[in-house]
Amino acid sequence: MKSINELIKEINELKSELHDKDFLLTWEQTPEELERVLKTAQALKSMRQENIATNVFNNGLGISLFRDNSTRTRFSYASAINMLGLAQQDLDEGKSQIAHGETVRETANMISFCADAIGIRDDMYLGAGNAYMREVGEALDDGVKEGVLPHRPALVNLQCDIDHPTQSMADLAWLEEHFGGLDKLKGKKIAMTWAYSPSYGKPLSVPQGIIGLMTRFGMDVTLAHPEGYDLIPEVVEEARKNAEASGGSFTQVASMEEAFKDADIVYPKSWAPYQVMGRRTELLRANDHDGLKALEKECLAQNANHKDWHCTEEMMKLTKGGEALYMHCLPADITGVSCEEGEVEESVFEKYRIATYKEASWKPYIIAAMILNRKYQETGHILQELLDDAKKRVK
């Protein structure tokens, strides 16, 4: 890994407008801005390893709103804001005035008087999560403009219906570490494939995040899923455009075997079909419990037709040299461990278990890097001040 001083120098050389926009979709950021987040994350990680304090903020809040269950992202966000010197306050909508009709505009301002960061996970409703985050962002802009808020909090997408940018950026950071640089990823084949799961309703945001981001760096991205398990068409089109612009490729195939053939990286992960997520959203909004039960039964039966979409040792032999890097956002559905039949064979997962943990370990630093680049235009100078001060976390 490069020295902290080298990373700071490179950060200073990268053009960025991240201080003027929220990090809601990776494909809204330029390649230089994405690289700047990666380098900031690397610098923060190195400083942590060298026991150098990174509490840029001496006080303030980091607000979290999780509308879906989470382990890695929840604790990664908490770690990130603590690393920067902020205290965490979770917004429990059930204990707020939201239930009494408080508007998004009002809530966004009321929670932000002393906030420097807001992280939101809203992936339950197709067509709603990312839109809600943008509504919050507009309310924060208005609060600053009208003098209600002294500073604009950084707004970070902790997973929505369209993208999971903190996950895909952590995945990219791990690939950069594993292969020895972003330039080493050009021409590498990554297979983003559907895999069987005994559950339904898994969001589309992880596979969409992967095809939307990895196509930015000249990789050969292959998407595979059974018939009917489509992603949002606009995101697929975005991946095609990204691949063309970066000199990579984007291919869609109909079998896991074809996707795995000669792949350098495999990412077998279950998701619900785009059309199903649309139906599920309508039923959730209508509070139709019977309809949701019927849809779940239908989808589980549909999933069961594709149990051969299973990451096994035999499947891994099809990859380049039989040694492709296995990736997963976790938790994986491990056959014989977490479920009777699932996404990945136990022996395959166990072989790459530590690798997936290292993949996940990048997320706190990525989130902290997103916040820093939103709050400060001269992120490199802020890091240099921390380095010059070099206060030890533990003396």
What is the per-residue pLDDT across 26-56, written as a single tens digit (0 to 9) for each? 999 999 999 999 999 999 999 999 999 999 9
Q: Per-residue pLDDT for 373 more than 80?
A: yes
> For 60-115, what is each residue's pLDDT tens digit?
999 999 998 899 999 999 999 999 999 999 998 876 666 667 899 999 999 999 99
Query: pLDDT value at position 395?
Result: 61
Tokens of 314: 């035999």
Q: Per-residue pLDDT for 211 more than 70?
A: yes
- Residue identified by tokens 């972003």 is 182
The CA distance from 223 to 269, in Å, is 11
Q: Looking at residue 86, what DSSP letter applies?
A: P
Query: pLDDT value at position 379?
Result: 96
- Choose among 13, 33, 12: nearest CA to 23: 33
Q: Looking at residue 311, what DSSP letter applies?
A: B
Buried b (16+ CB within 10 A) or exposed e, 132-162: bbeebbebbeebeeeeebeebbbbbbbbbbb
What mean pLDDT do residues 7-16 have?
A: 97
> For 243-265, what is each residue's pLDDT tens digit?
999 999 999 999 999 999 999 99
Q: Is 379 helix (H, G, I), strand (E, B) or coil?
A: helix
What is the reported pTM? 0.96
The CA distance from 242 to 250, in Å, is 9
What mean pLDDT do residues 355-361 have?
A: 98
Query: pLDDT value at position 99?
Result: 61
Residues 6+ apart with CB under 8 A from 316: 260, 266, 322, 323, 324, 326, 348
Q: Per-residue pLDDT for 190 more than 70?
A: yes
Query: pLDDT value at position 108?
Result: 95
- Choose among 29, 35, 30, 28: nearest CA to 13: 35
Tell me the CA distances in angstroms from 17 to 28, 128, 209, 338, 376, one per residue in order: 11, 26, 21, 43, 10
The CA distance from 175 to 53, in Å, is 26
What mean pLDDT do residues 294-320 have?
A: 96
Query: pLDDT value at position 285?
Result: 87
Query: pLDDT value at position 172?
Result: 98
Average pLDDT, the chain: 95
Confidence of residue 277 (pLDDT cuts 50, 70, 90): confident
169: phi > 0 → left, psi -120 to 50 → alpha, else beta; which? alpha
> For 159-181, what is each residue's pLDDT tens digit?
999 999 999 999 999 999 999 99
Query: pLDDT value at position 25?
Result: 98
What mean pLDDT do residues 121-147 have?
A: 95
Chain centroid offset of residue 385 CA: 29
Asked if 372 and 378 touch (Cβ cutoff 8 Å), the reply is: no
The CA distance from 143 to 35, in Å, is 30
Q: Per-residue pLDDT for 392 more than 80?
A: no
3-state helix, strand, coil in the chain (%, to 5): 50, 15, 35
Query: pLDDT value at position 123?
Result: 92
Query: pLDDT value at position 93?
Result: 80
